[in-house]
Amino acid sequence: MDCIFCRIAAGEIPADVIYTDEEVIAFRDINPQAPVHVLIIPGEHIASLAELPEEKSVLVGHMVDVANRLARSEGISESGYRVVMNCGRQGGQDVLHLHMHLVGGRQLAGSFG
Ligand code: AMP
């Protein structure tokens, strides 16, 4: 399978990785939409939220914990931030490997574009 985020997770292509643990990797988005724009992905390939088995839903809670932790270390915890998971084509998902966007560092506009 040719998945760009699997290749980042495997260290096969470069990324600005700022956090890793046994379950997830976080790296800066290549096309940032705000001063802070980080992607948090599971190491395991899961295509989207729609493909997440119920028994693995705890993984998303862990991704939220990591997003909160990174919001603190990036200095946007107090000012505020947005956590987004796009799912499927109409949900705006371009990369078919589950990921959470952590976005902040500027005033963000309405959520449902
Ligand atoms: P989505 O539209 O939710 O699938 O978001 C995919 C995100 O991945 C976009 O914000 C892209 O800018 C980002 N992206 C794509 N390729 C890379 C890459 N090689 N390194 C970092 N971010 C990437």
pLDDT digits (tens, 9 = 90+) for 32-60: 999 999 999 999 999 999 999 999 999 99
Instruction: Label residue 45 left, alpha or beta by phi (over 0 means left) and psi (-120 to 50 means alpha).
Output: beta
For residue 88, the enclosing domain spans 4-104
DSSP assignment, residue 11? Answer: T
* Counted domains in the chain: 1
* Beta strands 100-104; 36-42: pairing state: antiparallel
pLDDT of residue 15: 98
Instruction: Return the CATH number at 39.
Output: 3.30.428.10
Residue 53 CA to ligand 1 centre (angstroms): 23
Q: To test the ligand 1 pocket, which listed residue (4, 30, 87) has its Cβ within 8 A of the most ligand atoms?
A: 30
Q: Is residue 72 part of a domain?
A: yes
Q: Is residue 35 part of a domain?
A: yes
Q: Is residue 110 part of a domain?
A: no
Q: Is residue 38 part of a domain?
A: yes
Specify the residue with its C-alpha closest to ligand 1, atom 12: 31
Residue 111 has pLDDT above 90, yes or no: no
Q: Is residue 23 part of a domain?
A: yes
> Please, which pLDDT band fits residue 112 given cuts at 50, 70 and 90?
confident
